[in-house]
């Protein structure tokens, strides 16, 4: 199932394919499924759950904004993408997933001043093999989305693919839904996280829960010759527990509980030290009268790029830690 989720086409605002995959997989294990006007998917076990588990379905991607006379496509990023990572990369464009390449000047054609400057989005284009505007218009329209064309693969203990942020959270949430917790619980898959936590903005108002567990991917920093990035987590060293980031200070009791559970059960863990980024907890914890939130993340190299890398053991240990956390918090109702 993880390969299907990672390979699926699902940029922010166009998560339909991912949602349908999840809906089909989770339906036998829950009592009720709903989709709200934003596109968030709610899979509910039992009545009146006080706990939710949340992961976002969307990935960073692109939107076509104009078709040039020569059939190439002007586009803009959807979500935070480092422009340096996109040059020459393969993409899938539009409803028919037309294959294309993000083009720019070859190095041989660059002027000296261009060699030293970062490329600009307005100077890039997508080349899908069309030679005329009217030819391209038969397949693609302004407003169509595109995503990186990267296939999921495995390399020993490592998993390689696009969109682990946050399809890995979706996968773990799905697996948790298959377990028989003896209390009501809501499994929520949100939209538009990458463009401002927009789907999560309505989740906490729809579900009057008391505790939210957000499952995510977070940036790893174990790069060669980058000693100052050692404060960032590393793949293979365990799930990452967040104390705070730019959007949320996690509930201290829940953070301490996660640490205690990990230590009691021999689950390796890491603490997110830099207060960078944000998750759906940033909106959910502000819902209604407030929701106590905790965040567990799988460390991933190269997130928000055409390909990222995670470790199998981190996935397994995140699942263990999340399951035991739910048993402890749900059992105290």
- CA distances 197 to 54, 145, 277, 283, 287, Å, are 12, 19, 11, 7, 13
Reply yes or no on whether 193 is catalytic: yes
Kindly name the residue from 15, 50, 59, 193 that is annotated as catalytic.
193
Residue 210 has a CB neighbour count (10 Å cut-off) of 15
Helices of type H across 27-163:
112-115, 133-137
**Contacts with 142 (C-beta within 8 Å, 6 or more apart), sequence order:** 64, 65, 66, 67
Q: Is the separation of the CB atoms in 215 and 54 below 8 Å? A: yes
CA–CA dist 260, 264 (Å, integer): 6
CA–CA dist 31, 35 (Å, integer): 14
Nearest in space to 164 (alpha carbons), one of 148, 181, 188:
148
Residue 225 has a CB neighbour count (10 Å cut-off) of 5
- List the structure tokens of 171: 């996968």
- List the structure tokens of 250: 């996690």
Q: Is the separation of the CB atoms in 282 and 197 below 8 Å? A: yes
Residues in the chain: 333
Residue 49 buriedness (CB in 10 A; 0-12 / 13-18 / 19+):
buried
Positions annotated as catalytic residues are 193
């Amino acid at each position: 199932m993880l390969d299907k989720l990672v390979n699926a086409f699902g940029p922010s605002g166009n998560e339909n394919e991912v949602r349908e995959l999840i809906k089909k997989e989770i339906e036998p294990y829950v009592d009720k499924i709903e989709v709200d006007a934003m596109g968030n998917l709610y899979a509910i076990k039992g009545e009146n759950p006080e706990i939710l588990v949340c992961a976002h379905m969307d990935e960073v991607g692109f939107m076509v904004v104009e078709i040039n006379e020569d059939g190439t496509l002007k586009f803009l990023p959807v979500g935070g993408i480092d422009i340096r990572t996109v040059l020459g990369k393969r993409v899938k464009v539009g409803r028919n997933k037309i294959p294309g390449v993000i083009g720019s000047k070859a190095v041989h054609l660059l002027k000296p001043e261009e060699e030293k400057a970062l490329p600009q989005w307005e100077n890039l284009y997508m080349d899908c093999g069309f030679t005329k505007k009217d030819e391209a218009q038969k397949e693609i329209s302004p407003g169509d989305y595109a995503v990186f064309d990267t296939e999921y693969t495995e390399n020993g203990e490592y998993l390689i693919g696009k969109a682990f942020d946050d399809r890995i959270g979706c996968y773990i949430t799905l697996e948790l839904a298959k377990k028989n917790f003896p209390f009501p619980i809501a499994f929520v898959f949100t939209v538009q996280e990458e463009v401002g936590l927009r789907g999560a903005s309505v989740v906490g108002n729809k579900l009057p829960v008391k505790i939210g567990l957000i499952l995510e991917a977070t940036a790893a920093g174990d790069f060669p010759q980058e000693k100052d990035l050692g404060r960032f987590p590393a793949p293979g060293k365990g799930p990452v527990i967040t104390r705070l980031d730019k959007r949320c200070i996690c509930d201290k009791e829940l953070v301490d509980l996660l640490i205690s559970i990990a230590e009691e059960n021999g689950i390796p863990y890491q603490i997110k030290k830099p207060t960078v980024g944000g998750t759906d907890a940033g909106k959910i914890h502000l819902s209604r009268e407030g929701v106590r939130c905790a965040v567990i993340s799988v460390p991933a190299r190269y997130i928000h790029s055409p390909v990222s890398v995670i470790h199998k053991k981190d996935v397994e240990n995140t699942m263990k830690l999340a399951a035991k956390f739910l048993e402890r918090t749900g059992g105290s109702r």
